[in-house]
Amino acid sequence: MDNQRLIKDLLYEQVSRLAKAVASPKRLELIEVLCQSSKTVEQLAHDTELSVKLTSAHLKELKAARLVRAQRDGKYMIYELVDNHVADLWVMLRELAEERLLELQHAMQQLVARPDELKPVDSGDLLARAQRGEIVIIDVRPGAEYRFAHLPYARSLPLDELRQRLNELPADKTIVAYCRGPFCLMANEAVDLLRKEGLLGIRMESGVAEWRLQGLPLVVESLGQTLG
Protein backbone atom coordinates (compact mmCIF):
# COMPACT_ATOMS: atom_id res chain seq x y z
CA MET A 1 0.00 0.00 0.00
CA ASP A 2 1.51 3.36 -1.02
CA ASN A 3 1.97 6.30 1.33
CA GLN A 4 -0.87 8.36 -0.15
CA ARG A 5 -3.33 5.52 0.43
CA LEU A 6 -2.20 5.24 4.04
CA ILE A 7 -2.75 8.97 4.54
CA LYS A 8 -6.23 8.82 2.97
CA ASP A 9 -7.19 5.90 5.17
CA LEU A 10 -6.00 7.82 8.20
CA LEU A 11 -8.09 10.85 7.23
CA TYR A 12 -11.28 8.81 6.90
CA GLU A 13 -10.50 6.96 10.09
CA GLN A 14 -10.24 10.23 12.02
CA VAL A 15 -13.57 11.50 10.67
CA SER A 16 -15.17 8.18 11.52
CA ARG A 17 -14.33 8.81 15.17
CA LEU A 18 -17.11 11.40 15.25
CA ALA A 19 -19.54 9.02 13.57
CA LYS A 20 -18.72 6.32 16.11
CA ALA A 21 -19.17 8.77 18.99
CA VAL A 22 -22.68 9.73 17.91
CA ALA A 23 -23.68 6.20 16.87
CA SER A 24 -25.64 5.76 20.09
CA PRO A 25 -29.23 6.86 20.79
CA LYS A 26 -28.37 7.95 24.32
CA ARG A 27 -25.30 9.91 23.26
CA LEU A 28 -27.44 11.74 20.72
CA GLU A 29 -29.93 12.52 23.47
CA LEU A 30 -27.13 13.81 25.68
CA ILE A 31 -26.04 16.13 22.88
CA GLU A 32 -29.62 17.36 22.45
CA VAL A 33 -29.89 18.12 26.16
CA LEU A 34 -26.51 19.88 26.16
CA CYS A 35 -27.78 22.06 23.29
CA GLN A 36 -29.98 23.67 25.93
CA SER A 37 -27.33 24.52 28.54
CA SER A 38 -24.33 23.16 30.40
CA LYS A 39 -25.22 20.54 33.00
CA THR A 40 -23.76 18.31 35.68
CA VAL A 41 -23.47 14.58 35.17
CA GLU A 42 -26.29 14.13 37.68
CA GLN A 43 -28.58 16.53 35.79
CA LEU A 44 -27.83 14.79 32.50
CA ALA A 45 -28.53 11.40 34.06
CA HIS A 46 -31.89 12.68 35.29
CA ASP A 47 -32.83 14.26 31.94
CA THR A 48 -31.95 11.16 29.93
CA GLU A 49 -33.20 8.61 32.49
CA LEU A 50 -29.83 6.91 32.79
CA SER A 51 -27.70 5.95 35.76
CA VAL A 52 -24.89 8.35 36.66
CA LYS A 53 -22.36 5.62 35.88
CA LEU A 54 -23.70 4.99 32.38
CA THR A 55 -24.08 8.72 31.73
CA SER A 56 -20.43 9.23 32.65
CA ALA A 57 -19.40 6.46 30.28
CA HIS A 58 -21.29 8.02 27.38
CA LEU A 59 -19.85 11.46 28.19
CA LYS A 60 -16.36 9.96 28.17
CA GLU A 61 -16.91 8.81 24.58
CA LEU A 62 -18.23 12.22 23.51
CA LYS A 63 -15.32 13.95 25.21
CA ALA A 64 -12.78 11.67 23.50
CA ALA A 65 -14.27 12.73 20.15
CA ARG A 66 -13.91 16.42 21.15
CA LEU A 67 -17.69 16.94 21.05
CA VAL A 68 -18.10 17.91 24.70
CA ARG A 69 -15.82 19.29 27.37
CA ALA A 70 -15.95 19.34 31.14
CA GLN A 71 -14.80 21.48 34.01
CA ARG A 72 -14.94 20.90 37.74
CA ASP A 73 -17.09 23.10 39.96
CA GLY A 74 -16.49 21.97 43.51
CA LYS A 75 -17.54 18.34 43.73
CA TYR A 76 -19.45 18.48 40.44
CA MET A 77 -18.30 18.01 36.84
CA ILE A 78 -20.04 20.42 34.48
CA TYR A 79 -20.35 19.34 30.84
CA GLU A 80 -21.05 21.49 27.79
CA LEU A 81 -20.82 21.22 24.02
CA VAL A 82 -17.45 22.25 22.61
CA ASP A 83 -19.19 24.76 20.31
CA ASN A 84 -22.39 25.39 18.35
CA HIS A 85 -21.16 23.23 15.47
CA VAL A 86 -21.95 20.19 17.60
CA ALA A 87 -25.52 21.43 18.08
CA ASP A 88 -25.75 22.04 14.34
CA LEU A 89 -24.54 18.49 13.68
CA TRP A 90 -27.32 17.10 15.84
CA VAL A 91 -30.03 19.16 14.14
CA MET A 92 -28.81 18.37 10.63
CA LEU A 93 -28.47 14.65 11.40
CA ARG A 94 -31.98 14.54 12.85
CA GLU A 95 -33.45 16.46 9.91
CA LEU A 96 -31.71 14.12 7.43
CA ALA A 97 -33.09 11.12 9.31
CA GLU A 98 -36.59 12.60 9.28
CA GLU A 99 -36.29 13.16 5.54
CA ARG A 100 -34.97 9.68 4.66
CA LEU A 101 -36.37 7.24 7.22
CA LEU A 102 -40.01 6.31 6.86
CA GLU A 103 -39.95 4.63 10.27
CA LEU A 104 -38.94 7.91 11.89
CA GLN A 105 -41.58 9.84 9.97
CA HIS A 106 -44.23 7.40 11.18
CA ALA A 107 -42.99 7.59 14.77
CA MET A 108 -43.01 11.40 14.66
CA GLN A 109 -46.58 11.42 13.38
CA GLN A 110 -47.66 9.21 16.26
CA LEU A 111 -45.67 11.13 18.83
CA VAL A 112 -46.25 14.79 18.11
CA ALA A 113 -48.73 15.15 15.26
CA ARG A 114 -51.24 17.96 15.67
CA PRO A 115 -52.97 19.56 12.68
CA ASP A 116 -52.46 23.06 14.05
CA GLU A 117 -48.82 22.90 15.15
CA LEU A 118 -46.49 25.71 14.17
CA LYS A 119 -43.57 24.34 12.16
CA PRO A 120 -40.03 25.78 12.04
CA VAL A 121 -40.75 27.46 8.67
CA ASP A 122 -43.12 29.82 10.47
CA SER A 123 -40.41 31.17 12.75
CA GLY A 124 -39.95 34.56 11.08
CA ASP A 125 -43.67 35.31 11.12
CA LEU A 126 -43.85 34.02 14.68
CA LEU A 127 -41.40 36.68 15.86
CA ALA A 128 -43.32 39.46 14.15
CA ARG A 129 -46.61 38.31 15.67
CA ALA A 130 -45.06 38.03 19.13
CA GLN A 131 -43.55 41.51 18.81
CA ARG A 132 -46.97 42.92 17.94
CA GLY A 133 -48.46 41.18 20.95
CA GLU A 134 -50.76 39.00 18.85
CA ILE A 135 -49.48 35.76 20.42
CA VAL A 136 -47.65 34.74 23.59
CA ILE A 137 -44.60 32.47 23.41
CA ILE A 138 -43.80 30.35 26.44
CA ASP A 139 -40.60 28.40 27.06
CA VAL A 140 -41.53 25.36 29.13
CA ARG A 141 -37.99 24.07 29.66
CA PRO A 142 -36.32 24.33 33.09
CA GLY A 143 -35.46 27.89 34.05
CA ALA A 144 -31.69 27.35 33.78
CA GLU A 145 -32.07 26.37 30.12
CA TYR A 146 -34.19 29.47 29.45
CA ARG A 147 -31.53 31.70 31.03
CA PHE A 148 -28.80 30.05 28.94
CA ALA A 149 -30.59 30.95 25.67
CA HIS A 150 -34.18 31.42 24.61
CA LEU A 151 -36.33 32.74 21.78
CA PRO A 152 -37.03 36.48 21.66
CA TYR A 153 -40.26 37.56 23.38
CA ALA A 154 -40.55 34.17 25.11
CA ARG A 155 -41.66 33.95 28.74
CA SER A 156 -40.17 31.33 31.02
CA LEU A 157 -42.95 29.06 32.29
CA PRO A 158 -41.33 25.72 33.18
CA LEU A 159 -43.67 22.79 32.75
CA ASP A 160 -43.62 21.91 36.45
CA GLU A 161 -44.76 25.47 37.30
CA LEU A 162 -47.26 25.96 34.52
CA ARG A 163 -50.41 24.85 36.31
CA GLN A 164 -49.76 27.23 39.22
CA ARG A 165 -48.98 30.14 36.86
CA LEU A 166 -51.83 29.89 34.36
CA ASN A 167 -53.20 33.20 35.64
CA GLU A 168 -50.17 34.90 34.03
CA LEU A 169 -51.43 33.98 30.56
CA PRO A 170 -54.08 35.91 28.62
CA ALA A 171 -57.30 34.06 27.84
CA ASP A 172 -57.84 35.88 24.53
CA LYS A 173 -54.54 35.09 22.77
CA THR A 174 -52.88 32.03 21.27
CA ILE A 175 -50.22 30.56 23.54
CA VAL A 176 -47.27 29.03 21.63
CA ALA A 177 -45.26 26.54 23.67
CA TYR A 178 -41.80 25.27 22.80
CA CYS A 179 -39.19 23.13 24.53
CA ARG A 180 -36.02 21.32 23.39
CA GLY A 181 -37.04 20.51 19.82
CA PRO A 182 -39.13 18.01 17.85
CA PHE A 183 -38.32 14.99 20.03
CA CYS A 184 -39.16 16.78 23.28
CA LEU A 185 -42.56 16.15 24.88
CA MET A 186 -42.67 18.99 27.40
CA ALA A 187 -44.39 21.36 24.95
CA ASN A 188 -46.97 18.67 24.15
CA GLU A 189 -47.79 18.30 27.83
CA ALA A 190 -48.01 22.07 28.19
CA VAL A 191 -50.43 22.35 25.27
CA ASP A 192 -52.61 19.57 26.70
CA LEU A 193 -52.77 21.42 30.02
CA LEU A 194 -53.55 24.77 28.38
CA ARG A 195 -56.38 23.29 26.35
CA LYS A 196 -57.88 21.52 29.37
CA GLU A 197 -57.96 24.91 31.09
CA GLY A 198 -59.75 26.53 28.17
CA LEU A 199 -56.74 28.34 26.67
CA LEU A 200 -55.71 28.15 23.03
CA GLY A 201 -52.37 26.41 23.16
CA ILE A 202 -50.32 25.20 20.21
CA ARG A 203 -46.89 23.63 19.99
CA MET A 204 -43.90 24.94 18.08
CA GLU A 205 -41.58 22.22 16.83
CA SER A 206 -38.35 24.23 16.90
CA GLY A 207 -36.11 24.63 19.92
CA VAL A 208 -33.10 26.86 20.40
CA ALA A 209 -30.76 24.57 18.43
CA GLU A 210 -33.07 24.58 15.39
CA TRP A 211 -33.62 28.32 15.79
CA ARG A 212 -29.88 29.01 15.84
CA LEU A 213 -29.21 26.86 12.78
CA GLN A 214 -31.80 28.86 10.84
CA GLY A 215 -29.81 32.01 11.63
CA LEU A 216 -32.61 33.47 13.74
CA PRO A 217 -31.93 35.51 16.89
CA LEU A 218 -31.65 34.12 20.40
CA VAL A 219 -31.58 35.96 23.70
CA VAL A 220 -28.65 35.05 25.95
CA GLU A 221 -29.44 36.48 29.35
CA SER A 222 -25.99 35.82 30.81
CA LEU A 223 -24.61 38.18 28.16
CA GLY A 224 -27.52 40.58 28.39
CA GLN A 225 -27.96 40.63 24.64
CA THR A 226 -29.66 39.13 21.61
CA LEU A 227 -27.51 37.07 19.25
CA GLY A 228 -28.28 36.48 15.59
Bridge pairing between strands 68-73 and 76-81: antiparallel
Catalytic site residue from 22, 179, 199, 204: 179
Q: Which residues contact 102 (CB under 8 A, 6 or more apart)?
A: none
Delimit the domains of the chain by residue range: 3-86, 108-227
Burial, 161: exposed, middle or buried (Cβ in 10 Å; 0-12, 13-18, 19+)? middle
Q: Which residues contact 94 (CB under 8 A, 6 or more apart)?
A: 181, 182, 183
179 is catalytic: yes
Q: Report the C-alpha gap between 36 and 180 in whole angstroms.
A: 7
Q: Report the C-alpha gap between 29 and 156 in whole angstroms.
A: 23
Cβ count within 10 A of residue 83: 11
> pLDDT tens, position by position, for the chain (228 residues)?
688 999 999 999 999 999 999 999 999 999 999 999 999 999 999 999 999 999 999 999 999 999 999 999 999 999 999 999 999 999 999 999 999 999 988 888 876 555 555 444 357 788 889 999 999 999 999 999 999 999 999 999 999 999 999 999 999 999 999 999 999 999 999 999 999 999 999 999 899 999 999 888 899 876 544 545
CATH class, domain 108-227, is alpha beta
CA of 170: how far to CAs of 146, 165, 208, in Å?
A: 21, 11, 24
**Quick one: fold of 3-86?**
Arc Repressor Mutant, subunit A (1.10.10)
Strands of 154-156's sheet in order across = 154-156, 135-139, 174-178, 201-203
For residue 51, the model assigns a pLDDT of: 98
Are 189 and 217 within 8 A, CB to CB? Answer: no
- Please say whether the dihedral angle defined by the alpha carbons of residues 150, 104, 89 and 30, taken in this order, is positive or negative: positive
Q: Report the C-alpha gap between 114 and 204 in whole angstroms.
A: 10
For residue 226, the model assigns a pLDDT of: 53
